[in-house]
Every structure is written in structure tokens, then in C-alpha cells.
Amino acid sequence: MAGSDFKAVFFDLDGTLVDIHGPLYAAARTAIELLDADPPLTPEKYQAALTQGEVWFGVPPEIRRDYMQLSYAYFLAEVDGTERLEALPRVAETLAELKRRGYATGVVTSRPGDPQTLIGKLAMVGLACHLDIVITQPSASIEALDKTASLREAAARAALEPHECLYVGDEPRDAMAARQAGFGAIAAVATGLASFERLRDHDQYRADFVMRSIGELPALLDRLRIEGGR
């Protein structure tokens, strides 16, 4: 992280800025039912699995690829059908503070569809006014979960080099994409699918910094700026 005075902060959407757990539970439960996986997923088992860092919810290894494809499709259907997003705590205040400090900001999400539709939904919950760039994916596919190219596009649209940007996500695959895109640093927030411990200790795609709340981000940026000026 040579030079830690970043000029842009980009964010994942689901689990980072807006709540993911309602749509994710419904999608996982439906996929498990269709695959006749045992045992059925209940809200209690869903929460217990996440607490233990178990992201497959008991799905056997031999059908996990089918489960992933089905649950992703049903998750997209759930979020597409949700008219109003539910912003996570401290998100609006944090985005407003970043804009006050002069950072370029944006959302880079795996959601497919017209970005203008998503901007409209973000406006309904008071977030769009704090975002300069919103990038969605052209199609719904497992491959679209890799946001490497989209992160490079976000940096280019902000007229910045990737190393001048920080990405904030809620899963190890967010760290993977930001690393591959050449971003200067990756922060993870434990408000999505992955637990704090999984984000902190992941053996392959570990974030540089892990937060329990997005509200910790301004203080983290202060610390990085001070350390970068030494």
C-alpha cells in the first residue's frame, strides 16, 4: 500500500451498503428445497451457519455447483423484485462524509441490469446523491461475480489509477477482484455473508482491513493518510 492517501472509495452493494440477508435466505432455502438437500434450511439454521462461517448451509459437496447456480439465480430474482432497498446502519452518513472530504465514490456490483434502474432504487433510500459512479453487470451469470474488469472500469471513469482506489466489500471474492484489478487496498465489512473471522483469516483472499461496521471507514482512511505521510 505504497501511498495510502486514496482518492476514490468504491463499494460492493449487497451486504456492504444494503441488507442481503432477507433475499439471501429466501434464495438459499428455495435452492436447497429444489435440490432435495437435507436438512431443510430454517432461519435458525441460516443464522447458526453464518455465525460458524459455514456458507454452504449443509449442502453436500457433490451438488454445491448446482446449488450455487440455483441460489444465485433465485437471489437475483429476489433483489430484482424488491422495490425498496434497505440501507445498512451508518451507510448514508459514511457516504456523505466521504463526499465532504472530496473522495470519488461509487458502487461496483455483481447485480445485472440497467444501472439507471439501480440508481433510482439508491435514490429512494438517500444513497444515490453520494455516489459518482454506479456499475452493474451486463448479464446474470456466475462469471459476473468476478468484478475485476468492472473495478478497473470504475477507476478509469474516475480518471484515476487503480492503486489510487480502495474497494470495500463483504466477501473474500471482493478482495480477490480488487487485488486482481490492482487496487491500492481492500477493506471488508462483516455485515454480509462472511463473518468477521472469515474475512480476517481467509487463507487465499484476505482483506487488508476488516470492519464490523461501515461507520469505521472514515477513521480507517484517516489512519491510512497519516501513515502514508510518514
- pLDDT tens column, 127-154: 999 999 999 998 766 666 789 999 999 9
- What span, in angstroms and rounded, lies between the C-alpha atoms of 29 and 96? 36
Tell me the whole-structure pTM to 2 decimals: 0.88
**Average pLDDT over the chain, rounded to whole?**
90
Q: What is the pLDDT of residue 4?
A: 67
Start-end of H helices in the chain? 21-34, 43-51, 64-81, 91-100, 115-124, 148-157, 172-181, 196-201, 217-228
